[in-house]
Amino acid sequence: MKMRRKSDLPEKPCRQCGRPMVWRKAWAKTWDEVAYCSDRCRAEAAKDRSARRRNAVRPGDDPAGPREAATDDRTRPRRSVPILE
Ligand SMILES: [Zn+2]
């Protein structure tokens, strides 16, 4: 039989760093949406996501075309404009 611990709170791994996050009262309303343990992980994940999106070809969202896109990353400095979702 399993002992029920005093700290029997929900727990899940951070999607970015994988460290376990324990339920916090501040997350009571958003626990299902909480995916990252910190703002830093959230920012890192957003960076990863946008980097992946740059390489992924989505139908109807390919302004430069495949040939131009292939050289785009190497020839142009990466601009640090905020990505608006
Ligand atoms: Zn994390």
> CATH for 11-75, among 2.60.120, 2.20.130, 3.30.50, 1.10.3470?
3.30.50
Supply the Cα-derived Rg of the chain in whole angstroms.
Answer: 19
Choose between 31 and 73: higher pLDDT. 31
Burial class (CB in 10 A: 0-12, 13-18, 19+), 4: exposed
| Ion ligand 1: residues, Cβ under 5 Å | 14, 16-17, 37, 41
8 Å CB contact between 69 and 62: yes
- Summarize pLDDT for 24-47 with one digit per residue, the tens: 999 999 999 999 999 999 999 999
Ligand 1 centre from 67 Cα, in Å?
A: 36
Ligand 1 centre from 81 Cα, in Å?
A: 24
CA distance 68 to 75: 10
* Residue 2: how many other CB atoms lie within 10 Å: 4
- Per-residue confidence (pLDDT) for residue 71, from 0 to 100: 54
Ligand 1 centre from 52 Cα, in Å?
A: 19
Q: What is the mean pLDDT of residues 60-82?
A: 60
Output the CA–CA distances (angstroms, integers) from residue 65 to 5, 50, 62, 72, 84, in the order listed: 57, 18, 6, 10, 21
Q: What is the mean pLDDT of residues 3-30?
A: 89
